Amino acid sequence: MMPMVYTVYGFAIFFMIAWVCLWLIHIMALSYSKWKLHRTVDRSPPETPYPGVTILKPLTGTDLNLFSNLETFFTLDYPTYEICFCVETEHDAAVVVVNTLLHKYPHVDARLFTGGKHVGVNPKINNLQPGYLAAKYPLILISDAGIRMRDDTLLDMVQHMREDVAIVHQMPFAWDAEGFAAVYEKVFFGTAQARMYLGADLLGINCHTGMSSLVRRCALEEAGGLQAFADYLAEDYFMAKAVMAAGWKMRVSSLPALQNTGARSVGGLQARLARWARLRIAMVPTTALLEPLTECMPLGAGAAWAAGHLFNAEPLPFFLVHVLVWFLSDWLMLRSVQNGSPPFTKVQFLLGWVWSECCAPFVLAAALISPEISWRTRSYRLDWGGHAHELKPLKTDPVAFRI
């Protein structure tokens, strides 16, 4: 009996420590967001000229928002930059959109590259390789097709690029849109994702997400260039890992990345989150054990059980208070990331939050049950450590998997 009692109390202590640690992360992330995000961008002329930036845009297919998203890159308030649009084939629908913008903004230094160059398994890197090799400037901004930019975003990112910093990336968020899928997307990226992202940045943990990332080309070349990461699907994580191992630092900019894909759906977002979970599990297997403890419902249930054993607390009231305070904390976090009230009511936030929190354990379970990764029109298998192997093409509309 005694070993069993010790085991129960051991698990109870473990859950309480995890619960306290997560609440410390809540407090740190919320406080950090108030200081870090949406700081005023300095538009005054610098003492030394800003370095030139090459913007690499990987494109596959088109949607209702692609034209307006890409147009924001032609109107950036930054002195010296070029845009390299990279499209897999010359018959892709995105080519028409790019050519229309090139004609509309002839004064902007922008070029179109088609065909890609095969250097590994990762289709994004294969697509980007010609643009990367032709880049003229020392800073490289890799920006996915669905990203929408404020005119001062690039300036903000460059101002975070200190002498010892090699990567400045934007925290993922979402552009305002209508519908429950848009609420779900904004709630997830503005609460659970933002909390862990800001906490990781504050603690110096690799949280690099490559949807909008400014990189020193010299640091990338030291690591072997863009093609050195072509055998990984999570090229952003391994890129940051290699750059930080060389002694460089990484920073999050003050303006979040505004994702604005044309086709929003609940199922599409959940498939995307499951794909990310599969990547995390392959890269860091302990994710499968520890990640559930970062979610409100599993952690609250475990902590309520632990509080009952350790402190004779009533589990149900403990759990309900835990959920309520977590909910209020997430509302404050979302307002901080949004820089004001979100574009939906508190009732809509409640529905989106409950859906997001309740679905999170099932998304992780789906990633564990089906480890095969579907990305764009292809499917992959991952080895432990993150190396990818392509299996067979999927018969799916490539727009659905456009980055």
Which tokens belong to 265?
A: 């759906």
**Between 266-283 and 346-369, two packed helices, what is the crossing angle to 10 degrees?**
50
- Asked if the structure places residue 251 within a domain, the reply is yes
Active-site residue (options: 236, 330, 383, 397): 236
- Asked if the structure places residue 165 within a domain, the reply is yes
Task: Identify the CATH number of the domain in which residue 120 sits.
Answer: 3.90.550.10
- Does pTM surpass 0.75? yes
- Asked if the structure places residue 214 within a domain, the reply is yes
Q: How high is the pLDDT of residue 392?
A: 65
Q: How high is the pLDDT of residue 45?
A: 87
Range of the domain at 118: 37-171+209-264+396-401
- What are 85-95's pLDDT values in tens digits? 999 999 999 99
Beta carbons of 250 and 206 less than 8 angstroms apart: yes
3-class SS at 370? coil
Q: Among this protein's residues, is 152 annotated catalytic?
A: no
- Asked if the structure places residue 85 within a domain, the reply is yes
- Asked if the structure places residue 355 within a domain, the reply is no
DSSP code string of 193-228: HHHHHHHHHHHT-----TTEEEEEHHHHHHTT-GGG
Find tokens 């080519």 and name the residue: 95
Q: How high is the pLDDT of residue 396?
A: 43
3-class SS at 133? helix
- Asked if the structure places residue 247 within a domain, the reply is yes
Q: How high is the pLDDT of residue 62?
A: 92
- Asked if the structure places residue 110 within a domain, the reply is yes
How many domains is the chain partitioned into structurally? 1
- Asked if the structure places residue 70 within a domain, the reply is yes
- What are 260-317's pLDDT values in tens digits? 998 899 999 998 999 888 888 877 777 667 888 899 999 999 999 999 999 999 999 9
Q: How high is the pLDDT of residue 390?
A: 82
